[in-house]
Amino acid sequence: MTRVLLLIPDRTYRTADFMAAAADLGVDVVVGSRDVSPLAATGDGRFVQVPLDDAAEAARVVGSFATELPLDAVVGVDDGSTLAAAASSAALGLPANSVNAVAASLDKAEARRRFAAAGLPTPFHRVWSAAADPEEVATTPGLPVVVKPVDLSGSRGVIRADTPDELAAAFARVSAIVSSPDVCPPGSEPQRIIVEEYIPGVEVAVEGLLRGGKLEVLAVFDKPDPLEGPFFEETIYVTPSRMSAADQTRVTATVARACAALGLTEGPVHGEVRLNGRGAWILEVAARSIGGLCARTLRFGAGLTLEELIIRHAAGLPLDDASLRREEVASGVMMLPIRAAGRLVEVPGQDEARAVPGIVGLTITIPRGRDPLPEGDRYLGFLFARADSPAAVEQALREATALLEVVVA
């Protein structure tokens, strides 16, 4: 039987969906994680403790484990495990992205350097230590700019600044985020901070699967809400895209070039692109699939989920062109934001939201009674819709979201 090791980071929404995909495929699963958790246990309790924050040590542990129980694939299910998965795959001689390529995708500064070397439109940028003086950073020319950590996802700590005072304040705020214990464990150095030129334009996302260096485009998502700052909180994703065929080709070609520039060759990728009169600007390419629970918007040939496609590819199971073709119905997701700090009391209006035509699911991901985490670390939940057209999907998501009330104490 095909055996797959799923490397599951501490903070992910996706454990259950990957486990379900493996079960549907009849794949033997081993879970690798830093700590045992209720969702990190397979049916027969097969589990290996893997230090996901140390790729070299993770590879050693996985290699030792595989001498007793051979593995056909190692899959990092989300941010926090992709580098360990690449190192472990290399140690086992399994087809996968190189450690160097994955590391570059996780470092926005290094990615920018490689994009520029490949001739891709790349914003002016400068990298700073988190300990830099905000007043010195505020002298950066070329405002407006965007301040962001070199390695955080979900738009966490991404802030636009239009004036020197705003830049100093934004840098201080991002410095506090990257120096916080949940991002920077005791004894480690805070990650660097990048200050880069703000790129105006329409932002879209591309979901793809690399096979032998070739990008198979699985979906192009529109982001109907303008992402102009000062914060860049993700809200609505809708597919198929309503952009022209020519613009979609420009966008997907840019993502393919960006993958090659980073050296990525195998597995899922999630690209973010801004399109304007100056070209298609790659914001980032992550060596993983779309985050949160957003993958639930996608279904492919014979009803396959995105997680099933990822496992099939990693394990070398049959995967033909029909399997990679997204269903024709339009679909989308609203990532419900946290509007205020405090303890979540309740979310009234859920039944009414679910009753809106086109809404097919609503999941609240922060338990009642828990303090919503600040600075974009978690979403309140995810709202899903399906309809005959992208416009109908967007309308359903907006209508249902308006019916939800978030009560925070």
Average pLDDT, the chain: 92
pLDDT tens readout for residues 233-289: 889 999 999 999 999 999 999 999 999 999 999 999 999 999 999 999 999 999 999
Which amino acid is it at 135?
E
Q: Considering the chain, what percentage of its residues have pLDDT values greater than 90?
A: 77
Q: Quote the CA–CA distance of 119 and 257 in Å, as a whole number.
A: 9
The pLDDT of residue 38: 45
pLDDT (mean) for 86-105: 97
Helix (H) or strand (E) holding 270: strand 267-276
User: Alpha-carbon distance 213 to 97, whole Å?
Assistant: 10
Q: Stretch 33-52: mean pLDDT, rounded?
A: 72
Would you state the pLDDT for residue 302? 84
138 pLDDT more than 70 = yes
Report the C-alpha gap between 160 and 177 in whole angstroms: 15
Cα(245)–Cα(294) distance, integer angstroms: 24
Give residue-wise pLDDT tens across range 45-62.
Answer: 588 999 999 999 999 999
Position 44 scores a pLDDT of 56
List pLDDT tens digits, range 192-223.
999 999 999 999 999 999 999 999 999 999 99
Residue 22 confidence (pLDDT) above 50: yes
Binning pLDDT at 50, 70 and 90, where does residue 377 land?
Answer: low
Question: Burial level of 241, CB count in 10 A (0-12/13-18/19+)?
Answer: buried
Contacts by residues 31-36 (CB-CB < 8 Å, ≥ 24 positions apart) = 31/5, 31/6, 32/5, 32/6, 32/7, 32/8, 32/58, 32/62, 32/74, 32/81, 33/7, 33/8, 33/9, 34/9, 34/10, 35/10
The answer to whether the Cα torsion of 384, 387, 390, 394 is positive or negative is negative
395: which 2 tokens? 């309308």
φ, ψ for residue 272 (rounded to 5)?
A: -120, 130
Q: Which structure tokens are listed for 14?
A: 């996706």
pLDDT digits (tens, 9 = 90+) for 298-352: 999 989 999 999 999 999 999 998 999 999 999 999 999 777 778 889 999 999 9
Give yes or no for residue 2 having a pLDDT over 90. yes
- From edge to edge, which strands make up the β-sheet containing 202-211? 279-286, 267-276, 202-211, 214-222, 236-239, 330-336, 381-387, 359-364
> Which tokens in the block code for residue 44?
């027969």
**Residue range 353-368, pLDDT digits in tens:** 999 999 999 999 888 8
Q: Which residues of 45-69 are buried (b: 16+ CB within 10 A; e: fewer)?
A: eebbebebbebeebbbbbeebbeee
Using alpha carbons, list the distances in angstroms from residue 173 to 151, 158, 160, 178, 190.
16, 10, 12, 9, 13
Which domains, from first to last, does the chain contain? 3-103 (3.40.50.20), 124-197 (3.30.1490.20), 330-409 (3.90.1170.50)
pLDDT, position 43: 52
